[in-house]
Structure 1
């Protein structure tokens, strides 16, 4: 059976996929949601690729936001059969998230980021980036249950600033089919960044979810699941086990 691996982005942990994970499990799919360190694109891609390869099964790799950059690189693992981008950065080889975003107007996220130092293993400092707790609901999660958003806002998994500047060493979409979902009201990753990346990647199909915020998997989990299911049927036309 093909395994669906959901890769979270910056500012969230694996629990950020919870509504989609629940729906996929209820439908009988084999799902994994690894925790990503969010320390660097190079390191995070290696981490996810190793996780995928240890599954020893065909994998449909799904990335949200920064997770899209991660799966673009990690998706060259031999057992990855397809990619799904959800409000994500679909980078090309040699490109960083900062470069791709820089070609388009800034999303509201840019003015609402918080920077904090953290200590690296060698004693030097890196920089953690998170979203202002006060701005999180409007910028990242408009339309999502306020009780849920309040928890997500104070439980952020920061993203290292290094991840914005490191370039993709590979582009898995060049050799694997991909699908893309645009969160049309995204104020964190500009929708045009999503559209451009998906078009350049030659995705099989792009779905636009009207009014969807960055956390589209919380406001519109069924739309996300529908696209993942479509991709799964394309790469592995099999019935999930009940």
Structure 2
């Protein structure tokens, strides 16, 4: 593997990965960040599949939060990384797996057109509470409204059954219950536990980039990152 595809979650934007992208590209890694918000899990998955197919050889693919549902439906991937993400089995959706915290639920606002958005002030604590304040405010300003239904989409396949996978549990997550993450992590080949909030690509982008570089070029018998847990 010599390429990385980063897949963002609901309400998020490709720009949220900018700090990680900069670190990876500085090290010569080819990185692609497809845009979701295409109206359904199927449409989001197709957009990411096109990015994967264009990489030339099977890339490492990272899915954050809802992005886990997206990457679960892919083919032609070298390694899957679930970052505080959903890992659906047959017939399961992100909504069915659950795990959203009351704090996240209270931050989601319904718009008049049927879409929802996350209150930017609340998002600073829910998504980015462990990040430097100015960086958290920047990240919250990038959040986008979300059409209904994506979280109820069911992947057409379960790539984690046949593809090497790593789950990163974010033990201080205020958006998705860490215990639910630990349950889902058992479906993956290996698990790391980080003492971070929901979005380490904002709070600790260097750590995320280092972990991905380790998975791209692992040393025999060595994990890519020290496990906090």
Q: Which of 227, 232, 235 is matched with 2:211 structurally?
A: 227
Q: Provide Cα deviations, 1:136-172, integer angstroms capped at 9, x if missing partner.
A: 1111110212222223223212332201212122110
RMSD: 1.9
* 1:2 Cα offset (Å): 2.3
CA distance in 1, matches of 2:14, 2:97: 25
* Structure (1/2) with the larger strand percentage: 1
CA distance in 1, matches of 2:34, 2:8: 8
Q: 1:140 and 2:124 equivalent?
A: no
Change (3 A) 1:37 1:142: same
Change (3 A) 1:50 1:220: same
CA distance in 2, matches of 1:12, 1:54: 23
| Unpaired runs of at least 5, structure 1 | 119-126, 236-242
Q: 1:218 and 2:215 equivalent?
A: no
* 1:88 Cα offset (Å): 0.9
SS of 1:25 mapped into structure 2: helix
| Unpaired runs of at least 5, structure 2 | 220-229
Residue 81 of structure 1 aligns with which residue? 78
Q: 1:180 and 2:175 equivalent?
A: no
CA distance in 1, matches of 2:204, 2:192: 12
Q: How many residues align?
A: 219
Alignment of structure 1 residues 48-87 onto 2, 5 Å? 48-73=48-73, 75-76=74-75, 78=76, 80-87=77-84
Higher relative contact order (CA 8 A, sep 6+): 1
- TM-score, normalised with respect to structure 1: 0.83
CA distance in 2, matches of 1:158, 1:187: 20
Q: 1:92 and 2:92 equivalent?
A: no
- Structure 1 segments of 4 or more deviating over 6 A? none
